[in-house]
Structure 1
């Protein structure tokens, strides 16, 4: 007698092989293990024991071999250490993008159209008569020569100003973004993992810009006692440290990066869970973890004012709900004339996505 095996229908897994289904889980595990492939594989085995991810036909050993065969991991034959490859790093970013923002089709050109005509690389089908100040590159010579032939005849060709037609190009906004991520110790305190959602958002945002807005720039700044930049490829390995929160150092570095960017549109996104508690004065660190320190706060407000003068809005995503922290964020935001969101961890990605996308629909002069 022929039997049938019934299982719960999962539309997200439709058409996926067993390897692809396990790969989705593996990529998620890597975000939680800071890119440690060995630890991720241990978690895969534990999940397999509890939820029967594999069967007699395809086991976890088969999955491990397929990871190597398909170039997702490299194994050191001398000590048995396994590491993820650049292909996997991109896979984690893409998985984060799909999870937070949905699937996006890669485009060859930036997609920041506005209704304001101007210099750009997208040709507008509409033409208009020449006016003083138009450049030579804007002249539609085919239409202009046709006009000259109609107006003055074919035999004695002459081209006058009234014959010229201008073909405009659509203006496109290009944006330089610095994403600041707090990696102070509080990001993993009290049993709540705040750094993993922040990393996933950063990976999704970087993949979004690289696929949909490739003419934009994204720089990642992490800040603890000090601030430094990291490469997009290093995001899966990002960890918190025994640091205080030197927001000033992060803002100073972000401003320095944006000063060197030629795009007229610049912005800072800052993900943090706490107040500034650290400041570098000369060669020493000034620290105060108790309440809001006026000395540190004043320096933050000064930088917020400088950013406002430079037309660099700061959008703060506060993943904490303490009333005194909200007051600090409100004062900081008003000083910069920026925006602030008090985002829960599960909504952080959608908050950032909506804010980033809404900025693309504005005409920035």
Structure 2
């Protein structure tokens, strides 16, 4: 019995080691970790391995800009985000919560257990047929006792009942992503990027009316659109002194500014300025960080302090209180990799108490749950602060 079958080679059906989708999926993890460095390495591949890059370009996951540099296309970014979204929901319950529900009545999702009398202008699709027919039968039964039977059932205006609905609201969200030097340890920044990409994709699919912006904060702040977020990396540590005190004017900064400090105050200020421009009542900030603030702004000067100073913490909390006064809810997700780092937990507790927000403590592996629950509920956590 023959075990093999031979035929003439057809170049149109040549064997490929793996599909472009699988190759790009394998590249997505190191791309999240190394960013633009990986794209530069792909350009330096030897000629015999160049087929992989050409295949990804042909399938639309990568492209070349006007200077010949490799960039990730929108298709590639969306695939990484969708993959991150699948991984995010893989660790959650299958019955994920629904849309942004509020206790106010209005146009939105139908609630079959609650009904009310029909009012002029109500959508016909909301009519509760069962309750409407029951009202008509009860009314006609009373008429039968008074004036005898009638040949057919007639519906009157007062018989109609409609389902009650719940108002569904829009929400404006700013995610503050810590890009300081310490975020590069233990995969914290890679996981934070993955969760941020998944959150953006989830909002695009489920809440298209919502507004979301992701802002990275370090010594300074920078907005992170999708491609910038995908390629972002933590700032490299450039000062290793045990004590640091630097002050410089913002309008005349020195040539070399250490960028690996944590300026949460500036991040909150920029987020507040972005959110007050949004025309919706529900506004929130979700902050992902792994350390106490070590930088702040005093007037027109930037101050960098290490170890963390009380003055920096106080000015940061004051900025959080300004956000709270303008109706912005703050959820702070602290990535705790050292159980004995009590300085971070104490600061997060003070921040949440001052602005009546949420404090979430988790590891990098559990970051998805912390961020998603903060976004969905805004008020649920194992321990309420500032109540």
Q: How does the TM-score come out when normalised to structure 2?
A: 0.68
Q: Is the 8 A contact 1:141 1:165 kept in 2?
A: no
Work out the CA distance in 2 between the residues paired with 1:317 and 1:301.
Answer: 15
Query: Is 2:76 the partner of 1:88?
Result: yes
Q: Alignment partner of 2:121: what SS? A: helix
Q: 239-248 vs 32-41, which deviates more?
A: 32-41
Distance 1:272 1:30 in 2: 21
How many residues are aligned here? 317
CA distance in 2, matches of 1:360, 1:233: 31
Task: Give per-residue Cα distances to partners, 1:137-173, cap 9 Å, x unaligned.
Answer: 3375997xx999x99xxxxxxxx99578666443213
Larger Rg: 2
Please give the residue correspondences for 1:157-306 in structure 2 after superposition, counting only pairs within 5 Å: 168-188=164-184, 192-241=186-235, 242-243=258-259, 244-291=261-308, 293-306=309-322
Distance 1:161 1:23 in 2: 62
How big is the shift at 1:290? 1.6
**Structure 2 unaligned regions, length at least 5:** 5-16, 128-132, 141-155, 236-257, 381-387
Aligned to 1:313: 329
2:214/2:225 contact within 8 Å kept: yes
Q: Is the 8 A contact 1:245 1:277 kept in 2?
A: yes
Structure-1 residue corresponding to 2:122: 138
RMSD: 3.9
* DSSP-derived class of the 1:288 partner: strand
CA distance in 1, matches of 2:45, 2:24: 10
Q: Paired residue for 1:66?
A: 55
1:119 corresponding residue in structure 2: 106
Query: Contact 1:113 / 1:173 at 8 angstroms: preserved in 2?
Result: yes
Name the CA distance, whole Å, in 1 between partners of 2:44 and 2:289.
28
Whether the 8 Å CA contact 1:37–1:83 is kept in 2: the answer is no
Distance 1:230 1:67 in 2: 24
Question: Helix, strand or coil for the counterpart of 2:209?
Answer: coil
Paired position in structure 2 for 1:53:
none
Q: Provide the rounded CA distance (Å) in 2 between the counterparts of 1:32 and 1:142.
A: 50
| Residue pair 1:35, 1:236 contacting (<8 A) in 2 also | no
Could you list the per-position Cα deviations for residues 57-95 of structure 1 after superposition, in whole angstroms to 9, with x for gaps in the alignment? xx955433321211111246x976322212112222122
CA distance in 1, matches of 2:379, 2:209: 13
Change (3 A) 1:305 1:40: same
In structure 2, do the counterparts of structure 1 residues 81 and 185 end up closer, same or farther at CA, with 3 Å as the change threshold? same
Question: What runs of 5+ residues in structure 1 fail to find an aligned partner?
Answer: 4-15, 46-58, 105-109, 152-159
